[in-house]
Structure 1
């Protein structure tokens, strides 16, 4: 039993040390590849861009669509999590309560499936990147590793694929359409959305103005 405890202690200490090393490393170095990219049957195309070269409306669209409290929470939105749990218990369309911080932690350090086990690791990495990276770096990494289409990762590669232009030059409607496709980029159309997706894109495009007016993206640019 003592040997087992020592072995488990070594594993835990090793995991903590490795996770701290990776988080500190990626605070300064672009993320070269993720598990999602490596496991993509379509291969992957990516193009890392610093946040200074990404249109601010993409940041605003991400906050409007994915995480309106991005600048005010510490990585976890307890109200959104509680609402998601309640809705999932009541049945219907399963929804999550993940913040942009949690999504970034998952996309960079973990895998897409895994249930509560993965969620536990996700919470650990979300805590670390909030404390070590800060909001600006979290947003920068999020926009650079998110899957934006079939075999396409990052908003720069997505902008070039769908609009034949840089992520620095998107219109508010183009930024909104790209962001609303992020949850299901292999199934949602960015160029010619229809029905609910088109309406949702229009709603997010309008909310970009709210984010701008209320400075909900201030933590990214302070």
Structure 2
């Protein structure tokens, strides 16, 4: 029993030490611009392994050199309540959880139907292939601060422990850095395509202009890409992209900047 108690104490000390490590890293970001994130390093490794090369574009620019249009577009698209919330939008998380539960239930029903069809084909002596599983379409309710917390320090795995750590880092970011710095770090490190990170690299790549000169519709088009940049970079002029960008552009005027 004493050994178990010591183990619990050691685990608690390790947990507290980990939080202090994250807090110190975040405090350093008040004066030092983070040059990479955990997500970026994992992407760099993936590209090296898969392609044996590292196509990479990223250039840090200060907040003043990022168009206010882009800031408004990203907030309108990703986190409309950014300036008001304390890091987490609980209502958005609840709605996302409910939608994901419904999506999982639909996927389960579809997979059951496919399995029955495959079984019927097998019993009829017809050549049958294993049915391909239908994956649920998962949506997120994460704020900009939560996305930054995950990208800076955490892995992409989905678990309650990782989500709890994301919440802890999110509140640290909000308490130590403030909204303006959070948005600056986010816009300089977020992914906008394969090996393409940050507002400056994205503006130069897609529109041949610096981030400071992005116009409203250009900014809206970049904001549309954020949920799935690798997918959208291959169809930047799709009907969905055009329609969604117009919707975001119409919302940008009501966005308050930090």
TM-score, length basis structure 1: 0.91
Tell me whether 91-100 or 198-207 shows the greater mean CA deviation: 91-100
Whole-angstrom distance in 2 between the partners of 1:193 and 1:210: 26
* Structural mapping, 1:1-150, within 5 Å: 1-40=4-43, 41-42=46-47, 43=54, 44-91=56-103, 93-150=137-194
Q: Higher mean Cα deviation, 196-205 or 114-123?
A: 114-123
8 Å CA contact retained: 1:177, 1:190: no
Q: Give the deviation of 1:190 after TM superposition.
A: 7.8
| 1:178 partnered with 2:178 | no
Residues 156, 166 of structure 1: 8 Å contact kept: yes
The alignment of Structure 1 onto Structure 2 pairs a total of residues equal to 214
Q: Deviations over 1:135-155 (max 9, x none)?
A: 001100110110011101111
Matches of 1:190 and 1:101, distance apart in 2: 27
> Does the residue aligned with 1:72 lie in a helix, a strand or coil?
coil
Aligned equivalents of 1:171 and 1:139: distance in 2?
19
Is the 8 Å Cα contact of residues 162 and 191 (structure 1) preserved in structure 2?
A: no
Matched, 1:156 2:168: no
Q: Is the contact made by 1:87 and 1:95 (CA closer than 8 Å) also made in structure 2?
A: yes
Shift of 1:39: 1.5
For residues 158 and 208 of structure 2, the distance between their equivalents in structure 1, rounded to whole angstroms, comes to 36
Instruction: Name structure 2 gaps, 5 residues minimum.
Output: 48-53, 107-136
| Local SS of the residue matching 1:148 | strand
RMSD: 1.6
Q: CA deviation at 1:9?
A: 2.7
Query: SS in structure 1 opposite 2:27?
Result: helix
CA distance in 1, matches of 2:156, 2:9: 31
Helix, strand or coil for the counterpart of 2:192? strand
3-state secondary structure, aligned to 2:168: helix
Q: Distance in 1 between matches of 2:13 and 2:253?
A: 51
